[in-house]
């Protein structure tokens, strides 16, 4: 079964450092997403990406965040200057061209900012 | 606006009991999709079911069953004869057809099945 792959599974970074979280979506999917889950809380939408541009973003997704699809396979989330409150599980997801179909989450990257 | 409510924060049951996890949603769209995900202690989101707004048939998969009722905007999840291994956090989620593809998740219900 096709998977969304996220690397690394766990990253520890110092406050103020830049971090890049990587995702390889399912190959024929056209919509890509990032979600965040602070420990013990619900999963929250950050951003969606389609046709090489952001299609929607939440208020959480401020200027500290950016997304990129640098080549045909990777989809990255960059946090420019990490804060303690950025510590969370970050989930990547992708979905098929047909809306609502095949929505698949990766297994997540646990980011710890110290 | 989209909203998903899971009123039960935590539930504890004894093994072999039946348990129902409640989910109530709000949407402005006529076409939407409802989901249930399981999150075990390892943290990943495990897909359980997707239901679109035009399909109100209840579904059963082994010990799992789902009851979708548009009249009450509810999409409840029942585990029959629960086992310790199903202990996890369960999230209900909503995606609207015409207002973006992103999911809105409920706050989750932590289910503990005790031996």
Each residue's pLDDT tens digit, A77-91: 999 999 999 999 999
Interface of B with A in 12-41 (CB under 8 A): 33, 35, 37
User: What residues form DSSP beta bridges with B81?
Assistant: none
Q: Specify the pLDDT at position A59.
A: 93
Kindly report, residue by residue over A6-56, the tens digit of the pLDDT: 999 999 999 999 999 999 999 888 899 999 999 999 999 999 999 899 999
Contacts of B30 in chain A (CB under 8 A): none
Contacts of A31 in chain B (CB under 8 A): 101
**How close A2 gets to chain B, by Cα (Å)?**
13
User: Residue B99: pLDDT band by 50, 70, 90 thresholds?
Assistant: low
Highest mean pLDDT among A47-56, B1-10, B11-20, B99-108: B11-20
Q: Specify the pLDDT at position A72.
A: 77
- The closest CB to that of A100, out of B44, B52, B106, belongs to B52
pLDDT above 80: residue B101:
no
């Amino acid at each position: 079964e096709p998977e969304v792959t996220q690397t690394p599974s766990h990253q520890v970074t110092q406050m103020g450092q830049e971090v890049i979280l990587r995702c390889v979506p399912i190959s024929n999917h056209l919509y890509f997403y990032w979600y965040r889950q602070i420990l013990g809380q619900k999963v929250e939408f950050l951003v969606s990406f389609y046709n090489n541009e952001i299609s929607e973003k939440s208020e959480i997704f401020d200027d500290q965040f950016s997304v990129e699809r640098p080549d045909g396979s990777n989809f990255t989330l960059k946090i420019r200057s990490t804060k303690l409150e950025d510590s969370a599980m970050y989930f990547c997801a992708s979905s098929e061209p047909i809306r609502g179909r095949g929505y698949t989450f990766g297994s997540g990257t646990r980011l710890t900012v110290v | 606006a989209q909203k998903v409510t899971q009123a039960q924060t935590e539930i504890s049951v004894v093994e072999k009991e039946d348990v129902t996890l409640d989910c109530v949603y709000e949407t402005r769209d006529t076409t939407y999709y409802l989901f249930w995900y399981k999150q075990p202690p390892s943290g990943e989101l495990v897909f359980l079911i997707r239901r679109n707004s035009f399909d109100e048939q209840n579904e059963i998969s082994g010990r799992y069953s789902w009851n979708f009722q548009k009249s009450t905007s509810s999409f409840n999840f029942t585990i029959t004869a629960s086992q310790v291994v199903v202990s996890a956090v369960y999230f209900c989620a909503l995606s609207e057809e015409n207002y973006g593809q992103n999911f809105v998740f409920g706050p989750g219900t932590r289910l503990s099945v005790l031996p």
